[in-house]
Amino acid sequence: MLDFNTLTEFSHTYCIGICAFLVPANLLTTLQTGILIGLNRPRMQVWASAAVAGFWAAAMLFHVFTWFAIGVVMPPTYILLGMAIACLAINIWAVAHPSSMMQLIKVAISAFRGILEEARRKKEEVISH
């Protein structure tokens, strides 16, 4: 049986270690989900990645809520809360509507290529003068 007092105490005692693991885990697994969408990988791979990322985001939400429960209201708690919600939302979006995420990724890639092309063109102009 889960003892929430023990879990909360663990969360508070090992806060730095928990955050040091959960922040990169959230960001990297959410990035992986986006990459899988961008590469048009099979739906099951995207779902698996989103499930893992969702687990880390839920763990971060629980960790932050344990701090809110004892009245700790500081910028890092809100930053971590926002990051967890954003990661969770992105992964839900990837599962619920991958085609719109794919369109956004394509637009972002084409814009990035345009910026790189413009920078290359300007560099060639500077070198030729």
Quick: pLDDT tens for 25-61.
999 999 999 999 999 999 999 999 999 999 999 999 9
Same-domain check for residues 114 and 129: yes
Confidence of residue 113 (pLDDT cuts 50, 70, 90): very high
Same-domain check for residues 14 and 57: yes
In the chain, which residue ranges form alpha helices assigned H by DSSP?
A: 4-13, 15-38, 43-69, 75-96, 98-128
Same-domain check for residues 60 and 23: yes
Same-domain check for residues 40 and 103: no
Q: Check residue 1 and give its pLDDT.
A: 66
Same-domain check for residues 105 and 84: no
* Spatial contact of 26 and 52, defined as CB atoms under 8 Å apart: no
Same-domain check for residues 57 and 107: no
| Separation between Cα atoms, residue 64 and residue 88, nearest integer Å | 14
Determine the structural domain holding residue 107 and report its residue range.
98-129
Same-domain check for residues 79 and 128: no
Same-domain check for residues 109 and 82: no
Which of 80, 101, 79 is closest to 90 using CA atoms? Answer: 101
